[in-house]
Amino acid sequence: MAIDNFSPGKQLRNAASTGTLKVPGAPNALVGRLIEYSGFPAAYLSGAALSAGVLALPDVGLLTLTELTQQTNYLTGAVEIPVIVDADTGFGEAVNVERTVIELESAGAAAIQLEDQVLPKRCGHLSGKELVSKDEMCAKLRSAAAARSDADLVILARTDARGVNSLEDAVDRAKAYLDAGADWIFPEALENVGEFAAFVSAIDAPLVANMTEFGKSPLLNYDELAGLGYAAVLYPVTALRIAMRAIEAALAVIDMEGSQESLLDLMQDRQELYDLLGYDEYDQRDREYFGRKES
């Protein structure tokens, strides 16, 4: 939900105008709430984190528009910071992208990310990717820009051309995508700091850097990327990976020790969870509805 009477897209653009955004990935609404409470200016609904964390599926285009829209609604309903939504390839051709934008904008997305892979898509940091033609992607972006009702909704075009063809093709596609209606550009799988810098020099538009772990891109420091001039830095699967490793360790302790007692100091306690959920406010309203006084 937007605050200060700004649409989500306007809120995101305003935030980016003040400096480079740190944008962690939120695989679910509760993590999104924690991202907001921790002071981050935006959250990212990653297709990879959502596919894995909610459906236990690989990031190969198996998620449906209905599922993504539902999760977007959950996340935007839980936070007041803007949410960047990964819509993969847009769930079809240009006319399908129209509906994708309509549904996700209605669900409260501040930015909608579209990529230039063919289906079945692959994780952007794996080999074996294939691209749609530049003309086909431009058609999708024209339809996306035409379908939005709020001109401030950010159309974020991701190009995977660096990992398929060359850096030069990625730059060429980025320029064409901007001409077709994209607002921001997401160059995926750049391989060194020089390539990140080259994109800034070549593209006159806000750029998004992906700092996913265990991929083709080096894990550059936020200050370095901010110094280069990137509009936002994504940490798309970090929270999910950390959580899964912690859960794995906790299950091993329970199995070995027969109790979770030794893990208590590592846990978010009951009150901390209730505070994050706003439990006390719900309880107070419930008492007011029934005319009950606190005991």
- Digit-by-digit pLDDT tens for the chain (295 residues) are 445 679 999 999 999 999 999 999 999 999 999 999 999 999 999 999 999 999 999 998 899 999 999 999 999 999 999 999 999 999 999 999 999 999 999 999 999 999 999 987 766 555 668 999 999 999 999 999 999 999 999 999 999 999 999 999 999 999 999 999 999 999 999 999 999 999 999 999 999 999 999 999 999 999 999 999 999 999 999 999 999 999 999 999 999 999 999 999 999 999 999 999 999 898 888 888 888 766 5
AA letter at 182: A
pLDDT digits (tens, 9 = 90+) for 56-71: 999 988 999 999 999 9
Residue with tokens 């730059």: 171
- Alpha-carbon separation of residue 104 from 158, 185, 247 (angstroms): 17, 19, 31
Contact 59, 105 (CB under 8 A): no
φ, ψ for residue 127 (rounded to 5)? -80, 165
Question: Residue 70, class by beta-carbon neighbours within 10 Å (0-12 exposed, 13-18 middle, 19+ buried)?
Answer: middle
pLDDT digits (tens, 9 = 90+) for 192-218: 999 999 999 999 999 999 999 999 999
Before 41, cis peptide (omega within 30)?
Answer: no
Domain ranges for the chain:
8-237, 244-290
Element housing 210 (H / E)? strand 208-210
With respect to CATH, is domain 8-237 assigned 3.20.20.60?
yes
Residue with tokens 């009150």: 271
